[in-house]
Amino acid sequence: MDQLLQHLANALIMGGTYALLGIGLTLIFGIMRVVNFTHGELYALGAYMMYFVANMLGLNFFLAIGFAIFAGLVLGALIELILLRPKRTADIDTTMLLMIGAWIVLQNVETLTWGSVAKSIPSPLPTEPLVIGPVSLSWLRLLVLGLALALIAATYALINRTKLGKAMRATFQDSGTAALMGVNINLVYTMTFALGSSLAAAAGALLGPVFVVTPTMGDLASLKAFAIVILGGLGSISGATIGGFILAFVEELGAGYISSGYRDAMGFIIIILVLLFRPTGLFARVERIG
Amino acid sequence: MLEIRNLVCRYGKVTALKGISLKVERGQMVALVGANGAGKSTTLRAISGLVPAAGGQILFDGEDITRASPARILGKGIAHCPEGRRVFGQMSVAENLEMGCFLRSDGKGIAADMAHIFEQFPRLAERRRQIAGTLSGGEQQMLAIGRAMMSRPKLILFDEPSLGLAPNIVEQVFEIIQTIRAAGTTVLMVEQNAYAALEMCDYAYLLETGTMALEGTGQALIEDPHVHEAYLGGGLSH
Ligand SMILES: Nc1ncnc2c1ncn2[C@@H]1O[C@H](COP(=O)(O)OP(=O)(O)O)[C@@H](O)[C@H]1O
Ligand SMILES: [Mg+2]
């Protein structure tokens, strides 16, 4: 029982960042119909920016997170403008290949820039854990959960309360009619890709200090993001949010009760099971952004 | 007010419009009729900037808008109420109307126009928080019309506003369009229900597979033997 509580607490903490990762990917797919294989590289970018600003420049931890998010926004916008905008009318297979190419290039650039040795980012918080009854939690992980939840809330507010969010929802539902309403579809696409990418970078910045930073960390992040998005139903933000927490719980329980080697396999298993039994995702009744 | 000169539009290898010309004068109601696939929707989509012109010119108030973006064209005062209604099915009635004035930022004017539309369409007012996808076809058409009006257009394009609606609702829709026109908005309407459209309009064009076959007053087209035979069912008048 005590062990279960500890697992649940761990899962809850990971779930927040997984949800961020999934929301970013599902936004991009839902609105642009682009299968974004660079998502994990944006996650790695966030972690490296964190390392660069907090460790190498020695600046404030929170400032580093903000910088990582900003870097994700900029790189996302550039990928959209340079690679995707010229291919706006291309079919989904073409953009998929393009994104696979970009994924490989980005990963190699990371290896060249930072080397293949893992980097670690020290936590600015006290290292002795917070103990509540049988559950022990590190302060850093609690901070990660808090920031992830704040970013999720901010994303929901952006989509449901702002004019840009309304334009994104309209474009998601019917891009031609959205254009007739005066929505600048090109701008919505760039902003969507930038926003989705910045969420991936945020997830990387939050988890970088929890684990270590390596050039290939993005591969697993991409896989997990796809698992979350498939679980939640393509294009569903609430589905991706719940999907992120479900993946975290399944991983944690798989690692705790089957074997710790199964942790990262759980994502694959989920993808296979969902595609076999519920290809529209667990919650897909109506696809709805927001 | 609107003038199209030798407009050519293509979808890949298919040439949907082979150099058509038409004119809409301020305050008029102009009908564009023709069979399915003649190119009526393409004409409206080209005016709105959704389909690029492969040739020819579109002038609005003397200004060339042939290559302008949909947002700019809307900003100039042309609203488009698309075929099949195309309301945002997952947004509420009120949000759909807000989408209609996406380019406007005059809060007070928007509130007044929204109130006016709810006055005109009491069924929408009752359902303002309801998700648009759950409205009936007639209600969705009213919403699409209201949404187009929210931009305060000078010219409004209607693409088959009666499509798929029950006869009594069709009548209501046509009444609303006449009210809009009477209030001073110029109307260009595409209709397959040719008789009703020709009866209502000041001037009409007949489109046949991408070319303008005929033009004249509504009455002249109704009396034209070819139109009568091919589009009005051939029998005695309705
Ligand atoms: N998106 C499209 N892609 C390819 N061909 C199209 C497309 N839309 C319309 N067409 C073709 O263009 C022609 C005119 O279509 P349209 O303007 O929709 O006719 P109408 O509105 O008069 O029924 C038709 O032959 C139609 O098949
Ligand atoms: Mg049509």
Q: Is residue A74 part of a domain?
A: yes
SS3 of residue B80 by DSSP: strand
Q: Is residue A270 part of a domain?
A: no
**Structural domains of chain A, count:** 1
User: Is A99:A36 a contact under the CB 8 Å cutoff?
Assistant: yes
Best residue in B11, B102, B104, B105 to probe A by mutation, most A CBs within 10 Å? Answer: B102
Residue B55's domain is classified under what CATH number? 3.40.50.300
- Domain limits for position A72: 15-215
- Which of B183, B155, B4, B7 shows the shortest CA–CA distance to B81? B155
The CA distance from A202 to the nearest CA of chain B, in Å, is 29
Separation of CA B31 and ligand 1 centre (Å)? 18
Separation of CA B16 and ligand 1 centre (Å)? 6
How far apart, in Å, are the Cα atoms of A90 and each of A73, A173, B7, B8? Answer: 24, 19, 26, 23
Instruction: Tell the burial category of B154 from Cβ atoms under 10 Å away from its Cβ (0-12, 13-18, 19+).
Output: middle
* Contact flag A181-B69 (C-beta cutoff 8 Å): no
Q: Is residue B139 part of a domain?
A: yes
Contact B36 CB / ligand 1 (< 6 Å): yes
Q: Are strands B63-64 and B55-60 parallel, antiparallel or unpaired?
A: antiparallel
Query: What pLDDT does residue B1 have?
Result: 94
- Which of B232, B132, B236, B139 shows the shortest CA–CA distance to B192? B232
The CA distance from A14 to the nearest CA of chain B, in Å, is 31
- CA dist A49 and B11 (Å) reads 46
Q: With a cut of 50, which residues of chain A have pLDDT below it?
A: none
Query: What pLDDT does residue A100 have?
Result: 96
| For B82, nearest residue in chain A (alpha carbons) | A177
Query: What pLDDT does residue B51 have?
Result: 95
**Structural domains of chain B, count:** 1
Contact B38 CB / ligand 1 (< 6 Å): yes
- Domain limits for position B14: 2-231
Residue B51 corresponds to which tokens in the numbers above?
A: 């389909």
Q: Is residue B238 part of a domain?
A: no
Residue nearest atom 5 in ligand 1 by C-alpha distance: B11
**Which ligand 1 atom sits closest to the C-alpha of B210?**
14
Query: What pLDDT does residue A146 have?
Result: 96
DSSP string covering B125-176, please? HHTTTSBGGGS-HHHHHHHHHHHHHTT--SEEEEE-TTTT--HHHHHHHHHH
Q: Is residue A241 part of a domain?
A: no
Strands (E), B173-234: 186-191, 203-208, 211-216
Count of CB atoms situated within 10 Å of the CB of A138: 17
* Interface membership of A174 toward B (CB under 8 Å): yes
Best residue in A173, A181, A236 to probe B by mutation, most B CBs within 10 Å? Answer: A181
- CA dist A148 and A210 (Å) reads 13
* Interface membership of A175 toward B (CB under 8 Å): no
Please tell me the total number of residues recorded for chain B in this structure.
238
Strands (E), chain A: 130-132, 135-137
Please tell me the total number of residues recorded for chain A in this structure.
290
Separation of CA A32 and ligand 1 centre (Å)? 24
Ligand nearest the Cα of residue B159 is: 2
Phi-psi region of B37 (alpha: psi -120 to 50; beta: other; left: phi over 0): left
User: Is A169:B71 a contact under the CB 8 Å cutoff?
Assistant: no
* Contact flag A182-B102 (C-beta cutoff 8 Å): yes
Q: With a cut of 50, which residues of chain B have pLDDT below it?
A: 236-238
How far apart, in Å, are the Cα atoms of B89 and each of A288, B74, B93, B164, B169? Answer: 10, 22, 9, 17, 20
**Percentage of chain A modeled with pLDDT above 70:** 98
Q: Is residue B79 part of a domain?
A: yes
Contact B13 CB / ligand 1 (< 6 Å): no
Name the residue type at position A265.
Answer: A
User: Is A117:A235 a contact under the CB 8 Å cutoff?
Assistant: no
Query: What pLDDT does residue B237 have?
Result: 45
